[in-house]
Amino acid sequence: MEGGPEHQPFIEGSPLSLFDFQKIEHQDPLFHEVLALRYKVYCEERGFENPEDHPDGLERDEYDSHAVHFAALLKSTRKVVGTVRLILHSESSFPIERAFTFNKDLSHLHPRQLGEVSRLALSKSYCQELQQARLRSDSEAGAVVNGLLRCLAEESLERGISHLYAVMARGLPILMARRKVLFSQIGPEREYHGLRAPYLGAVRDIVNRNPVIFHTCQAETPLEAVA
């Protein structure tokens, strides 16, 4: 996937046309804004992370160096209004594997076929519908999520990643399923910033069910079943 800010052609007048979606390298000045948004969402608004662990107002962890980072930028201001990262296989394993036990057999998947969706964050002005479980694909918040999902899918296909891990609260998989983004639970819930459970989604399944969102994603290998 290209790293430039306007590599995805969106229909003018649609909510998606309001945003640019960009891969962010660590040396990019926008990476500072990504970390600042994560701090605002995960430390101040949600209380998932301890602000005292991030005295500079930038939320970061050991997995940032093993991840691909994406940002949604509002075209009119170039302000970062959303972000997500794709954690890649490394010697550190995945956060989900450290925090949860699985009751599904994933032995048929090579670790390099896996990635983990992590640190999805939207600025407060764009996450009201998320919080109220009314996220629509034709809303601005929905457009940000759609664009970031497409970034994840394109990067995964390019890297040969067939399945994505995700840690989610109970209602989110249902909400995502309404948008034809299907993840299957692969282990029991536990307390993890509230009740959370581990999930797994097949990239090809997500892409094939959403041809409008993922029309730029090309796939040449057979669809693999979700474990």
Please list, in sequence order, all residues whose beta carbon lies within 8 angstroms of the beta carbon of residue 130, skipping any fewer than 6 positions away.
122, 141, 145
Instruction: Summarize pLDDT for 169-216 with one digit per residue, the tens.
Output: 888 888 788 878 899 999 999 999 889 999 999 999 999 998 877 776
Q: What residue has token string 């972000």?
A: 83
- Summarize the confidence of residues 36-59 as an average pLDDT: 93
Confidence class for position 219, pLDDT limits 50, 70, 90? very low
pLDDT of residue 48: 87
Confidence class for position 136, pLDDT limits 50, 70, 90? low
The pTM score is 0.84
pLDDT of residue 128: 58
Q: 15-209: which CATH number, 3.40.630.30, 3.40.50.300, 3.30.450.20, 1.10.3720.10? A: 3.40.630.30
Strands 114-122 and 163-168: parallel
- Summarize the confidence of residues 83-111 as an average pLDDT: 95
- Summarize the confidence of residues 1-14 as an average pLDDT: 41
pLDDT of residue 216: 65
Q: Among 77, 119, 75, which residue's Cα sits nearest to residue 96?
A: 119
Please list, in sequence order, all residues whose beta carbon lies within 8 angstroms of the beta carbon of residue 182, skipping any fewer than 6 positions away.
176, 201, 205, 206, 209, 226
- Summarize the confidence of residues 135-148 as an average pLDDT: 76
